[in-house]
Amino acid sequence: MQTDVAWMLPKNSPLTGLVNHHLRRFFEKGLADRLYRRWTRAIQEKEKATTMNGVSLGYENTVFAFVVLVAGIAIAFVGVVMEAIISLVDACLPKCLPI
């Protein structure tokens, strides 16, 4: 596996040679390949576990969510209408019933 590696060090750093040496050994021993295979395998297994394999939800499995949505919209609409009626009554009541 050919990989480009960049490590950020200050220009003309005395650690540049040491870091390059250990990175080279890391790749020569195959540690980078083993880590790459290990982590890509773990990611692939996780992706397999979370996919639905193309199974359709279907109407019978989603209708309840839409019923709840429509019920929520209806309740909100009733609330708005009641607030409008109450505000009209509060505005009209002092004028209609002089005390």
Q: What is the pLDDT of residues 16-67, one digit of tens each?
A: 888 888 888 888 888 888 888 887 887 777 777 666 566 677 888 889 999 9
Domain, as residue range, for 75: 56-99
Rg (CA), the chain: 34
Name the pTM for this structure. Answer: 0.41
pLDDT at 23: 84
Q: How far is residue 15's CA from residue 12's CA, in Å, rounded to a whole number?
A: 9
**What are 53's two structure tokens?**
């394999």
**Domain count of the chain?**
2
Looking at the structure, do residues 6 and 50 belong to the same domain, yes or no? yes
CB within 8 Å of 9: residues ≥ 6 apart: 15, 16, 19
pLDDT-wise least confident of 1-5, 24-28, 72-76, 93-97? 1-5
Q: Are residues 47 and 64 in the same domain?
A: no
pLDDT for the residue numbered 5: 64
Same domain, 45 and 88: no
